[in-house]
Structure 1
Amino acid sequence: MPTPATRSDTRVRMVMRKLPHVTVLFWVLKIVATTLGETGGDLLAQTLNVGYLVSTVIFFVLLVVAVVVQLKARRLHPAIFWTVIALTSTAGTTLSDLMNRTGGIGYTGGAAILCAGLAIVFIAWWRSGQTLDVENIATFRGEMLYWIAILFSNSLGTSSGDFLSDSLGFGFSISALMLSAIMLLLLGLHYFTRVNGMLLFWIAFVLTRPLGATVGDYLSKPLDHGGLAWGTMWTSAALLAALIGLIAYQTVQVRRHPLQPLPAPTHRRTGAPQRPNGEVVLA
């Protein structure tokens, strides 16, 4: 019969997850958070007349603080994670508007620049040797690349949503329907084809941003602009309440059903061990 020492020798180092599983709840939270990002960014920059430049600076300062807290966390805390997502959306909204409107680049030019930036991030991510599986990231460098990609994705989503609704003249409701149809197509590709899951994830992640932007504009913009005239303040308040409720639900679910830890991270190509960025446990 094995002794306690023998049993302990068979245990392996595992790392607690810091990023949530990609489920239906994940996408619902993502759409609500990005819609809040659109209306929250417009509330500060337009309704409160702070301006795109100052608003971008404010949101980026808040984003940096939130990212530092997230990077220092030892395991998943839904409130922290979704705060960072919401702030990447608000910062992405004001940054995109600053480039496209104040900077005069235009929606097409802004989308092209952000698309190129996102491509560069993915190339750097691939060359870094970090895992590309967004559910299994367990290193500081991998998580940093993840958040940079998300910031570019949300900024690109803002430009693409404005491009669809304004430049192409589809309006808010038609743009939202088109994007919803594309999301359903991606869902079908995920379940019924062998298309790479990470490729589908990032396409969907980018597209949920313009979907949130068009829904946010539809709720908040005046009637003569094709919206429901809720205003940015009331729309943001309603979305914030919905986001808090969903985060509370996910927090309870994580406590009731803790996420399984990850194996200790290794370099994707060489297999060399890497320093974990979460709480290390023995399993």
Structure 2
Amino acid sequence: MSQQTFSGEGTLNRVPRVTADFWLIKLMAVTMGETAADYLAVNMGFGLTVTSIFMSAVLIAALVLQFAQKRYVPWSYWLAVVLISVVGTLVTDNLVDNFGVALETTTIAFTAALAVTFAVWYAFEKTLSIHSIFTFRREAFYWLAILFTFALGTAAGDLVAEAFGFGYLTTAIIFGAVIALIAAGYYFLGVNSILAFWLAYIFTRPLGASFGDLLSQPLEYGGLGLGTIVTSLIFLAVIVATVIYMTIRHEPETAKISVGEAFKS
């Protein structure tokens, strides 16, 4: 990396600060990812295959736009998050519904894929911190990890709610309790901040997916019967409002890097 990159715009972090509104919009995005995927594939009648191909193409375009920013821009970042949430849901649904892969298998497989992603990321970068996403390679690792957290969360949420028979409400309570324990570990027991962040990020996905299913699924399937359209629009409205708020108050965050990192090739 050149000295110009160290001293100039290249040190701007490309992902947002972890704040209360970050977690709010993240939860909204993962919930909408679940309901929007169901709406496109089922209600619109496109089917999983066509929906997956189309949404993957849209996601690639959004990521190209996001990488081109070379800094955190609220609307492009959260657009990519919403789309990767939809695609992550579709990946799991395709494996389960089209290829007959058991939810237990997909949960284990995506856990392993995420673990490998973190291991390779750390091997190359010596950190998993989201406060120093300032190069193409780090951002690529970041988005790959995000994709696997969404696919894993969908599989784990469906596994607990459907295969294990706990239902959507109980499943949401279970994962909400897990997140509360992670937060308590961070604030009161000194759990490493990076570990706590990624654990919370992983578990907000099944929490959001279960909550989305609870709201959208028919009463006979254990839901509240709002439907995928209404549920998706509610969460989309919250996402848009939060992004507007983020854009108004946004201040760029400088990536936290050492002098050694700044001159690393």
TM-score by length of 2: 0.93
User: Is 1:154 aligned with 2:132?
Assistant: no
Contact 2:132–2:257 under 8 Å retained in 1: no
Q: 1:94 is paired with a residue of what secondary structure? A: helix
Equivalence map 1:50-129=2 (5 Å): 50-129=46-125
Q: Equivalents in 2 of 1:100, 1:266: separation in Å?
A: 47
Deviations 1:40-85 (A, max 9, x none): 0000111112111211111111111111111110321111111111
Q: Equivalents in 1 of 2:246, 2:125: separation in Å?
A: 31
User: Is 1:144 aligned with 2:140?
Assistant: yes
Which residue type is aligned with residue 17 of structure 1? N
Contact 2:16–2:253 under 8 Å retained in 1: no
1:140/1:130 CA distance change after superposition, 3 Å:
farther
1:229/1:266 CA distance change after superposition, 3 Å:
farther
Partner of residue 5, structure 1: none
Q: Equivalents in 2 of 1:259, 1:130: separation in Å?
A: 24
Q: 1:262 is paired with a residue of what secondary structure? A: coil
Q: Percent identity?
A: 35
Q: Equivalents in 1 of 2:123, 2:70: separation in Å?
A: 26
Deviation at 1:259, TM superposition (A): 3.0
Contact 1:67–1:84 under 8 Å retained in 2: yes
Partner of residue 3, structure 2: none
Contact 2:131–2:256 under 8 Å retained in 1: no
Aligned residues: 258
Q: Equivalents in 2 of 1:266, 1:86: separation in Å?
A: 35
1:177 to 170, 173, 178: 173
Deviation at 1:265, TM superposition (A): 6.7
1:259 to 249, 252, 255: 252
Contact 1:130–1:142 under 8 Å retained in 2: no
Deviation at 1:130, TM superposition (A): 5.2
1:32 to 19, 28, 32: 28
1:130/1:150 CA distance change after superposition, 3 Å:
same
Partner of residue 216, structure 1: 212
Contact 2:118–2:128 under 8 Å retained in 1: no
1:245/1:151 CA distance change after superposition, 3 Å:
same
Q: 2:130 is paired with a residue of what secondary structure? A: coil
Deviations 1:157-213 (A, max 9, x none): 000000010011110001111111111111111111222211111111111111110
Q: 1:56 is paired with a residue of what secondary structure? A: helix
User: CA RMSD, aligned part only?
Assistant: 1.6
Consecutive unaligned residues of structure 2, counting only runs of 5 or more, are: 1-5
Partner of residue 245, structure 2: 249
Deviation at 1:243, TM superposition (A): 0.6
Consecutive unaligned residues of structure 1, counting only runs of 5 or more, are: 1-11, 276-283
Partner of residue 199, structure 1: 195
Partner of residue 22, structure 1: 18
Larger Rg: 1
Runs of 4+ in 1 over 3 A off after TM superposition: 263-267
Contact 1:131–1:142 under 8 Å retained in 2: no
